[in-house]
Structure 1
């Protein structure tokens, strides 16, 4: 029964994450409530989340909502950043990041909430030297953050891609999912090498997360940016609320 509830939580987290990010808000606490040792939770969740992000990435790519030329530049940086980040997390206490990330994710949510135009129209005007370099640096930093810490990664990616390239929420989300997949797989490889994945738990949850990711991506593609924006704002604020709660525990 506990495993079934965990799988259900995984399904919901993947559904939400494939639309607007923030799925870890649901899945990580669920793995902890399931009773896994704290040092195994991150690796096991990363295994399941990687399968979900791969599923939604493929759907977004085949639907034409990703910029393949851009991802050739940003993808390797996201992967490299995550490899470095996950190695750091094994040595440094994460609590030092809490305050800064809490402020940033809250700012992202509030700014998006009160901005009527952000992400509603696709204003992408092409790639140039400046925005490619900015994007590569951004992908490296967020990839490193995902490997090191993680909460709000999807929100940061979507928000950054909208502001750097002028994407709408749908196109930003499609590119963000692929970058998130690369940082996930990089992190997973390190966690797996360190023996920090409970495969007996991860595999059944991953199956449910794949289904959730597929359905969530379909919902995003069908309903577009106006559907994604309120979910994005909600998940950003919920992530901030959860972090604030953890801060005072």
Structure 2
């Protein structure tokens, strides 16, 4: 396994640190940080499966940073989350298993379509996510939430970038939450999926620990700052930020896939 400082120059290492710090702050606000951090980590020259595992380790650190801030600020709903976490963990673990067995190229067009749909849906439904309309658990929203937690968990383990955006959108659409509470709940669910995914990557020996720990510390700090900004600014700030990140994520994937 390549060591951290033999895998890249010092200048490249500093570049990756800066980009991953920015990525974790962005992700804490609106999701989509993987669009920044994953390409930066790919630039290290590590094999792609090793990059995915190492990136997942750092993502866990980022998720912890943002989750703590949202949780201590009272922006999470454990009444809902306790029914979703187990399914999310199972989906994420299975996603990593499938990733290690097959090529992920077939999934990219589907993800692009979903991102474009999500962008225009949120754009033209101007009131959605601005006010918190959560009325409590129902049989319908818990069944929809269970399916969402499993499928997005699988996607998180299998591919990753955009998971936070998908989760935020799902909590808004299924439960009627605003962006602040949706972001807080999505961070907790994203964290559990990341931990399950990381456990699988560790099992398959796909983590470069020196690299992962160094980047993870930086991403933890960035996530704390991003979450603090999101909570202070409110839902009206997060929504346009969310739309921009979603559009950039979709555009980046389209360019990478077809151009």
The answer, yes or no, to whether TM exceeds 0.5 is yes
| 1:125 paired residue among 109, 117, 135 | 135
- Counterpart CA distance in 1 for 2:83 and 2:228 is 27
Find runs of 4+ consecutive structure 1 residues off by over 6 angstroms. Answer: none
* Superposition RMSD in Å: 1.0
2-structure distance, mates of 1:102, 1:122: 28
Cα distance in structure 2, aligned partners of 1:55 and 1:4: 21
- C-alpha distance after superposition, 1:133-175 (max 9, x if no partner): 2111110110011111122111111111101000000000000
Unmatched runs of 5 consecutive residues or more in structure 2? 1-10
How do residues 196-207 of structure 1 correspond to structure 2 at under 5 angstroms? 196-207=206-217
1:64 aligned partner: 74
**What is the SS of the residue equivalent to 1:90?**
helix
Other-structure match for 1:183: 193
1:212 aligned partner: 222
What's 1:47 paired with?
57
Report Cα offsets for 1:204-229 as digits up to 9, x if no partner.
Answer: 11111011000000000100101111
Q: Distance in 2 between matches of 1:44 and 1:149?
A: 13
User: What is aligned with 1:109?
Assistant: 119
Instruction: Pick which of 215-224 and 92-101 moved more.
Output: 92-101
Q: 1:151 aligns with which of 144, 154, 161?
A: 161
Confirm whether residue 25 of structure 1 aligns to residue 30 of structure 2: no
- Range that drifts further, 42-51 or 55-64: 55-64
Question: 201-210 or 170-179: which moved more?
Answer: 201-210
Q: Give the total of aligned pairs.
A: 249
Distance 1:51 1:96 in 2: 29
- Aligned partner (choices 133, 148, 154) of residue 138 of structure 1: 148
For residues 180-227 of structure 1, give each alpha carbon's deviation from its aligned partner in whole angstroms, at most 9, with x where no partner exists: 001101000111111111111111111110110000000001001011
Is 1:91 the counterpart of 2:101? The answer is yes
Larger deviation, residues 124-133 vs 67-76: 124-133
**1:75 partnered with 2:78:** no
Structure 2 residue matching 1:118: 3-state secondary structure: coil
CA deviation digits over 1:11-54, x for unaligned, max 9? 00000001111000001100111222212110011000111101
Query: 1:61 Cα deviation (Å)?
Result: 1.0
1:13 aligns to 2:23 (yes or no): yes
Q: CA deviation at 1:92?
A: 1.8
- Deviations 1:101-160, CA, capped at 9 Å, x for gaps: 101111111221222111000000111222112111110110011111122111111111
The TM-score, its normalising length taken from structure 1, stands at 0.98
Give the structure-2-normalised TM-score. Answer: 0.94
